A and B are shown apart, each in its own frame.
Chain A
């Protein structure tokens, strides 16, 4: 038909792209055409078909376990959960005044925060593309508010740079950008890019550098009202007779490079940390509590699993009732979804095949410490105009994060006074909890001198000391993933594993939920086809 316009359906286009360019390109195209979701989450799971009264025993009432319980019950399964702690949620956890917990080694801490203040010792932020977590929050009525990852007014700090004075993120970011732009503009003007960039592009590049780097008309990055709009003023524009603004002096490129403060800028650029991020209003455990409203009646608390034994008909789990130890108890079901963290699961007698056993043993857990500090007043807001966000430092505390709620309200506040990984995490974990807190106050005072006078109380969670995880999160090496990941996720007889460790986004709640949905979808297929 000669006059018909040439059109291609989206499906034809996608299959063409898939044929020519492979699945990665097709997925990319699907995303841009609105077909695919960001994290692989495809909306509420549909478990069609009759499970014929099948039963499932879930080990662990964290987000992975409770997701499985919620969805399997809805699909018609008989479900029970065994949980080690006296509460649900696992690492989805919030500490408030009056909460107490005992770490390995026997020290009990009681949180003394004022009412309304809290610390999220585990997960504390939700990226915009973690669609499964966001969807469960929506479905379960968990209210969200913004989590500020980048606050330009927070600090970057290095002990050996700028006399130890913390620098505003805004200044380091603007100056690094401005100085690099000036440098590139100079090189371009000297003709040294002539062989790399066309004349037309060079002209556009110069415009872009001037705009992006806040350069002047001579392509220099200098103190003036234009650069001040990026890096800030010595004196802000005001009103009346004292209104005249005074621009601030940029930091020289060499000083920025030597300070190494640039290394923190990636924390605002990386995919997982780009805006918008969220947190549940009132604490991260609002998610766990919302799940408990749905599945709480099937959770047996204080149940320490000691053995997992499968046969051709089902799975028998032996456990100790920690509130009434004595005779071992047993629970049995047709199937078992095990979310027990791998350092613990690796020690249990579990009759799975050699491949899954090797996978369980192949993943150590990272070390991490969080410390919450309550202060008499919100000096970071009142004195320094820091409302939410994170300061980064090369001190062992590594980060100070400011509360993302209750702004400008006066009164007391709780900071995340340390969020530690790497060697410092082992070193902090080795200290008694009270000394961890004292050290966090001492180190933090280098950035906020108000610490010393305004500190009131604190609480410290060292994840390797937590009896229910014995570590922070699965720390996969690329080699271990290549060799063991698929074996960890396969259904072994009547047992399947789930949790952040069975995902490509370890340590994120999204990984826990996605692994759980993937596991129950495969399990359900098996049950329905049987």
Chain B
């Protein structure tokens, strides 16, 4: 096919990590709210809003309400599972079932930013912000 086999993923990781060393490669950003296209193997988005709009939205949709086909992407809107901040941090970092692990492709700051964004938007208003230290603590 389609060929992201483990081998290729390793190859991709290696070449894209090498590309990251080239600091001259720009992120294809045109302005606030415009899509971000990361130049390497790690996400270049900085804010929680950018991360949600360019990464999470792929499956959870613009309104964070998810979608259903043969299976379901769960809704994050008005989500009582987000009460405990450690739960979304763990899932973003380590993945769970269909949810890929983003720990290797997002920094502690990025994970904290996107978790804080989701926990304060889409009908969620949890005010206890997550810090980069909290994220570091759940990395396996």
Contacts of B71 in A (CB 8 A): 343-344, 346-348, 470
Bits for B39-78, please: 1 = Cβ < 8 Å to A, else 0. 1111110000000011111110100000111111100000
Contact B70 A260 (CB under 8 A): no
Is B132's CB within 8 Å of the partner chain A? Answer: no
Stretch at the interface among A4-12, A26-34, A491-499, A506-514: A506-514
Interface residues as binary, B61-101 with A (CB distance below 8 Å gives 1, 0 otherwise) = 10000011111110000000000000000000001111111
Chain B residues contacting A478 (CB-CB under 8 Å) are 6
Q: Which residue of B lies closest to A284 (CB)?
A: B1
Interface residue count on the A side (C-beta < 8 Å): 69
In the bound assembly, the distance between CA atoms of A423 and B18 in angstroms comes to 15
Which residues of A have CB within 8 Å of B9? 366, 475
Which of A344, A360, A424, A500 is the one whose CB lies under 8 Å from B38? Answer: A424
Q: A346-B97, A472-B2 are in contact. Are A427 and B25 (CB under 8 A)?
A: no
Complex Cα distance, B11 from A304, in Å, reads: 37
Q: Does A173 contact B (CB under 8 A)?
A: no
Q: Is the CB of A430 within 8 A of B38?
A: no
Main SS of chain B's interface residues?
loop
Question: Of A91, A426, A464, A478, which is in contact with the most chain B CB atoms at under 10 Å from its CB?
Answer: A426
A263 CB to closest chain B CB (Å) equals 4
A270: Cβ under 8 A from any B Cβ = yes
Give every chain A residue within 8 A of B24 (Cβ-Cβ). Answer: 160
B37→A159 contact, CB < 8 A: no
A341–B138 Cα distance when bound, in Å, is 28
> Is residue B118 within 8 Å, beta carbon to beta carbon, of the partner chain?
no
Contact A122 B25 (CB under 8 A): no
Query: Contact: A430 with B39, CB < 8 Å?
Result: no
**Candidates B18, B22, B39, B59; contact of A464 at CB < 8 Å:** B59
Determine whether the beta carbon of A467 is less than 8 Å from that of B1: no
Does A394 sit at the interface, judged by CB under 8 A?
A: yes
A-B contact count (CB 8 A): 170
Tell whether, in the assembled complex, residue A475 and residue B98 are in contact, meaning their CB atoms are under 8 Å apart. Answer: no
Which residues A154-206 have CB closer than 8 A to chain B? 159-160
Q: How far is the CB of A141 from chain B (nearest CB, A)?
A: 22
A304 CA / B71 CA spacing, docked (Å)? 9
Q: How far is the CA of A431 from the CA of B57 in the complex (A)?
A: 8
Is the beta-carbon distance between B53 and A468 smaller than 8 angstroms?
no
Taking each of B38, B95, B99, B100, which has the highest tally of chain A beta carbons within 10 Å of its own beta carbon?
A: B100
Q: Which of B35, B36, B53, B68 has the most CB of A within 10 A?
A: B35
- Interface size bucket, B side? 35 or more
Complexed CA–CA distance, A505 and B9 (Å): 12
Cβ contacts A358-371/B at 8 Å (1 or 0 each): 00110011111000
Question: Do A509 and B1 touch across chains, with their CB atoms under 8 A apart?
Answer: yes
* CA–CA, A468 and B44, complex, Å: 30
A497, B7: Cα distance in complex, Å: 23
Task: Say yes or no: A431-B55 contact (C-beta < 8 A), given A368-B2, A473-B4.
Answer: no
Question: Which of A344, A366, A367 makes the CB contact (< 8 A) with B70?
Answer: A344
A221 interfacial by beta-carbon distance below 8 Å:
no
Known A-B contacts A260-B22, A423-B105; A430 and B3 likewise in contact (beta carbons under 8 Å)? no
| Most A CB within 10 A of own CB, among B2, B5, B42, B54 | B2
Contact B19 A421 (CB under 8 A): no
For the complex formed, measure the closest distance between the CB of B129 and the CB atoms of chain A, giving whole angstroms. 24
Interchain CA distance A340-B67 in the complex, whole Å: 18
Interface: B137 (CB within 8 A): no
A346 to B70 CA separation, bound complex (whole angstroms):
11
Chain B residues lying within 8 Å of A270, measured Cβ to Cβ, are 7-8, 11
Counting CB contacts under 8 A, is A146 at the interface? Answer: no
Question: Considering the chains assembled together, what is the distance between the CA atoms of A299 and B93 in angstroms?
Answer: 40
Q: Is the CB of A104 within 8 A of B2?
A: no
Q: Mark B10-21, 1 if CB is under 8 A from A, else 0.
A: 011001101100
Residues of A within 8 A of B5 (CB): 272, 505-508
Contact with B along A41-63 (1 / 0, CB 8 A): 00000000000000000000000
CB-CB under 8 A from A124, the residues of chain B are 1-2
Question: Given known contacts A423-B38, A427-B35, is B70 in contact with A508 (CB within 8 Å)?
Answer: no
Given A270-B11, A422-B16, the answer on whether A431 and B70 have CB atoms closer than 8 Å is no
In the complex, how many angstroms separate the beta carbon of B60 from the nearest chain A beta carbon?
Answer: 10
Contact B73 A104 (CB under 8 A): yes
| B3 close to A272 (CB less than 8 A) | yes
Cross-chain contact A160 with B22 (CB below 8 angstroms): yes
Contact in complex: B54, A430 (CB < 8 Å): yes
CB–CB B2/A123 < 8 A: yes
Q: Digitize A393-428: 1 where CB-to-B-CB distance is under 8 Å, 0 elsewhere.
A: 011100000000000000000000000011110110
List 6 interface pairs A-B (beta carbons < 8 Å), by A numbering: A160-B22, A260-B18, A365-B100, A435-B35, A465-B58, A472-B2
Nearest 4 CB-CB pairings of A with B: A467-B69, A343-B98, A123-B1, A344-B71
- Beyond contacts A266-B11, A430-B35, A470-B73: 8 other A-B pairs, Cβ-Cβ < 8 A, are A124-B2, A272-B3, A343-B71, A361-B96, A421-B12, A472-B4, A481-B6, A507-B3
Residues of B within 8 A of A (CB): 1-9, 11-12, 15-16, 18-19, 22, 24-26, 28, 35-44, 53-59, 61, 67-73, 95-101, 105
